[in-house]
Amino acid sequence: MSNLFSRDIDLKNYSWFNLGGPAKNFFKPKNNTDLINFFNKKNDINKNIHILGAGSNTLFRDGGYNGTIIKLGKEFSNIEILNDGNLLVGAACLDKKIANFALENSFKDFEFLSCIPGSIGGAIAMNCGCYGNEISKLVISVDAVTFDGQLKTFNKDQIKFFYRGSDFGEPLIITSAKLKGSKGKKKEIQEKQNKFLDQKKKSQPSKIKTCGSTFKNPGNKKAWELIKDSGCINLKVGGAKLSNQHCNFFVNEGNATSKDIELLIESVKDKVYLKTGIKLDLEIKIVGKN
Ligand SMILES: Cc1cc2nc3c(=O)[nH]c(=O)nc-3n(C[C@H](O)[C@H](O)[C@H](O)COP(=O)(O)OP(=O)(O)OC[C@H]3O[C@@H](n4cnc5c(N)ncnc54)[C@H](O)[C@@H]3O)c2cc1C
């Protein structure tokens, strides 16, 4: 195996929950060719695959992952302004870095990305958003390597974006994206970014081990309101609890296991269903074995 691969990597260091067992294989490609070669290999290394971004929406189970985790190397963190005035960003680039780059260069509509702690690959996969914005609105096209080893460009109209997700019609790893560059006034962009950051600070906890909203909002209802109204606020399992500031944020107090988080998820789901008849759907991704 080349130095792009490691074995028995502790996944808790790669999730915002700070939880999870070991990954059997961990693959960190430096470029598209590494990825294409990986998918074209004829052995077991590419049979059971999970793509990891910044891990801000991923709970790894305590038993770890019996396959290969792919995490794009830092070489995929580029940002550049193209001749047509749009932005080209590598999929590993953090949303915050893109928001700050946009601010620096007076591109508007990226302000909300300053509030989202993931990578742009994860943002597109999840169609992340807040305060009335969604990444889909900025996407022009996406480059990806498919699991059968082809580099493809998908124009926006070939991608199905929906609330907290997207569908490319086949399994793939996003490697870069072309995002709409609309010029604005730097002062206004700065003010909007500050307003969003302020709103986030007031409504959501920070500096805790969490992956943000655990459940999607069902229809026009708010998951956190359903959780609160169903009497879940003080529920706890082992070292897992709900955030005092935002009860849809589940928290590892420091000594939780992934199992604790999952049991808490089940318990909240049950209580909300019994009280309201609504079945909450997970926004976070749960990966691996118990
Ligand atoms: C404090 C906090 C606040 C948050 N606030 C918000 C918010 O306001 N709005 C919001 O929408 N989300 C929010 N989130 C959730 C999370 O940040 C977003 O879902 C983010 O887009 C996930 O990006 P990531 O790189 O961390 O993805 P990961 O957690 O690593 O992965 C998430 C999913 O994306 C897939 N994926 C990741 N990278 C790629 C790639 N290159 N190619 C293909 N698939 C890929 C993974 O396989 C997985 O299915 C918050 C999270 C935290 C911790």
Task: Output the six-digit token pair for 256.
Answer: 């939780």
Mean confidence (pLDDT) of the chain? 97
Closest among 92, 97, 48, 49 to 74, alpha carbons compared: 92
pLDDT above 70 coverage of the chain, percent: 100
From residue 53, give the alpha-carbon distance in Å to each of 6, 28, 124.
Answer: 17, 11, 11
pLDDT value of residue 149: 96
- Per-residue pLDDT at 197: 97
Q: Which residue has its alpha carbon closest to ligand 1 atom 12?
A: 128
54 torsion bin: left (phi>0), alpha (psi -120 to 50), beta (else): alpha
5-74 and 205-287 share one fold: no
Pocket flag, ligand 1, residue 223 (CB < 6 Å): no
| Whole-number pLDDT of residue 288 | 97
Instruction: Give the pLDDT confidence of 41-67 residue by residue, as tens digits.
Output: 988 888 899 999 999 999 999 999 999
| Ligand 1 center–CA 42 separation, angstroms | 30
Rounded Cα distance between 119 and 123, Å, is: 6
Mutational pocket test of ligand 1: of 58, 116, 214, 251, the residue with most ligand atoms within 8 Å of the beta carbon: 116
Name the CATH topology of 5-74: 3.30.43
What is the per-residue pLDDT for 44? 83
pLDDT on residue 43: 83
Kindly indicate whether the domain formed by 205-287 is annotated with CATH number 1.10.3720.10. Answer: no
257 lines ligand 1 (CB under 6 A): no
Tell me, using a 6 A CB cutoff, whether residue 118 lines ligand 1: yes
Nearest atom of ligand 1 to the alpha carbon of 124: 21
Decide if pLDDT at 259 tops 90.
yes
pLDDT number for residue 221: 97
**141-195: per-residue pLDDT in tens?**
999 999 999 999 999 999 999 999 999 999 999 999 999 999 999 999 999 999 9
pLDDT band at residue 2, thresholds of 50, 70 and 90? confident
Does ligand 1 lie within 6 Å of residue 230's CB atom? no
Indicate the CATH number for domain 77-201: 3.30.465.10
Active centre residues (catalytic): 164, 213, 283
pLDDT band of 290, cuts 50, 70, 90: confident
Nearest CA to ligand 1 atom 20: 118
The ranges assigned to domains in the chain are: 5-74, 77-201, 205-287
* Structure tokens, 180: 């709409």
Nearest Cα to Cα of residue 18 among 203, 257, 206: 257
The pLDDT assigned to 142 comes to 99
The string of pLDDT tens digits covering residues 6-46 is 999 999 999 999 999 999 999 999 999 999 999 999 888 88
Given a contact cutoff of 8 angstroms between Cβ atoms, the answer to whether 130 and 204 are in contact is no
252 has which bridge partners?
A: 209, 240
**Shortest-distance atom of ligand 1 to CA 164:** 11
> Quick check: CB of 177 below 6 Å from ligand 1?
no
Atom of ligand 1 nearest to the CA of 211: 53
pTM above threshold 0.85: yes
pLDDT at 94 over 80: yes
pLDDT at residue 1, as a whole number = 55
Distance CA(225)–CA(227), nearest Å, equals 5
Ligand 1 centroid distance, CA of 58 (Å): 7
Average pLDDT over residues 268-278: 98
Q: Which residues contact 20 (CB under 8 A, 6 or more apart)?
A: 10, 11, 12, 14, 59, 60, 61, 62, 64, 65, 258, 287, 288
